[in-house]
Structure 1
């Protein structure tokens, strides 16, 4: 281990409550000795790299203490000292003392509650036996981590032992739990390994959390402004231990969530397949989950945009928290094609529009979260009893299918406003129509022509407006016009003909809905791509 620095001593538990009043430029200096000072004469033979503990117990009066501190500060600097700790009594530092410390680059710490003799013994052991100090801190941290029991407790143990701000963060720096980092940081590139980065006076220790294949990469991030080599070695050891606890905690939470999701999904499927009143065991399970089967239900269905089911389990708590934050406290059940939810009241709601507005706001906040897949929603009519729950959820699911066809994240489609769109529901799920759409669009699906197909799709959805399509595609209207003309030539279909235009628009809609069905399609599909459609 390299020599202990002033920063290491400041991070030690004995000095954590001390106030650094000046001389911060010398925090990186190496320390070689610790001595107790009463009059200042003790420094005449002090070795190079000494830390002085000034005992104020024998100095009466504020002026006397002030004068003594400045004398010791000058003498310590003359002996190439490293740190002055003023202890054993109250001390109000004058501006002259602060300026002197800054000018000399000698850190001065005021620790009025520390016992000078005990403090000197503690710091001396750290300086001359850093390996022992490292082992003591690791043992203390390990003992406290074993009884942590939760993610928040693990992070708080690291805060306490390392005198730092600790958080759980994603690779892009988003803090998920703990104390949000005050200073920017970057995770190591390449293979995730524990590391410590030093920027200015701030040390940032990072350690990857073990994760399952395909899961998100999470990091424990620990930042400290009072640190040195001993702190960095301690942080790497403790974070490595803590990462195992955090990984185990996440694995347990994931298993519990998957178990609960299976229970909720299985019960909802049983309710939806009922023919008549629910039997006692179904009613009992619903009651234990807090589900009401009586009353008036308004179904809500959330569907993914741009990826293939099943829905990521990590999205469920984010979506649920967003709904709850907007006052939509409803059951949220993972389904094969998204999530089903329903609102229950004693009487029919006055208006579904207010629920739709609230869902729109909740989805807007959800999409403001980084690294979440885009989602749309559909709502159903309000209907009473268990049979009404089946009806409204089926309608909400169909409405979500239509919302997904728009390709716009955050869209909420009301089931009672589907109108003529109901005619398209069976069409969306038809394999025969899908094959015909692929045949029609084949000239544009060849290598190098997919940009033409995307342009034609956007152009038709924009009411054949080149300006609107250019705005949505982020290109010039003349580019849209040239691409549309090129597509007409390849397809042999004039877009001026209403029938041909309608057929081509429906084929483009089917292409957009199904292009993510294969792994190759998922890799190539832009953000607006939609999954293969679920059974309605």
Structure 2
């Protein structure tokens, strides 16, 4: 049995359908203009493209009727270029609406080509099946286009994160980030650590899922054995803001995770990245470091590892304020630290009342944000004073 007989259509009917394919396509486009308001607002060249695509679909329907075994192949071939073009200016929902409307027009006009009731039923069944094939082909092509855009976005995102890590604050970086939907004026914090998996897509999915639940945009890149995440928005203040970094830290592998300072915009994110990476290299010196640890809390370890920026911050934030407060305050801090944090011993050594020592310790805490009675703060103060003296001896201060 020939393919034509199998569909119950005569050769004459198929020839008439072939000749009428252009008319059917024009009728479909006219219906689109009448029933779809957004279609009428498309530029003329785009409407002409839809007409050409519809004509290809009408011709493909006749070929489909001639050889149903090759239905999917022929349908995909007929619409291969259509969704790639359509997807630039028509959404998938709109494309499916166009297909549905074209099928309705075909259903209305195809019966006039049938020689009898049997052919009319065959044409009706055929256009319904063909419409289903077209819809599936269109959806598949849109999915392929989305995957291609996703791959491009991933490459673009990797370039942005790499630029931040390298300290590239050019306009090109900001424009690329804006193309990814990032607000260049939003606060930014860089978080670094080890990826939890050797499969980058899995890592990306995990980080994005947690960021989406927290309602925060992120940029991320897996750079070998290092995962770099840039999170938008504040990280201090409310409990919700303070919780964003620990939430994202869960997506990292076991081991240290370090966050740089929160900077006012993406253009300054390279400062946050530099400090976060410095902290990640030095965090091994503090086994009890929190997760994530702030780079500012790792200043002693970073200074001991040779980070000049950490040395500068220790001098500016601790050593200089204590020295400018006067010799009595500086001597009290030195003596207190040397006495192992014993208040009475410090007071006897200085020949002052213990309350005087307490007052001076509180004054030091107000100036530096570090209280000598706290073991961690005591280490920070000791290293800061040492770094300050070494810098002064070298003529750097």
Same fold (TM over 0.5): no
Using the size of structure 1 for normalisation, the TM-score is: 0.27
Using the size of structure 2 for normalisation, the TM-score is: 0.34
- Which protein has the bigger helix share? 2
- Which protein has the bigger strand share? 1
Larger radius of gyration: 2
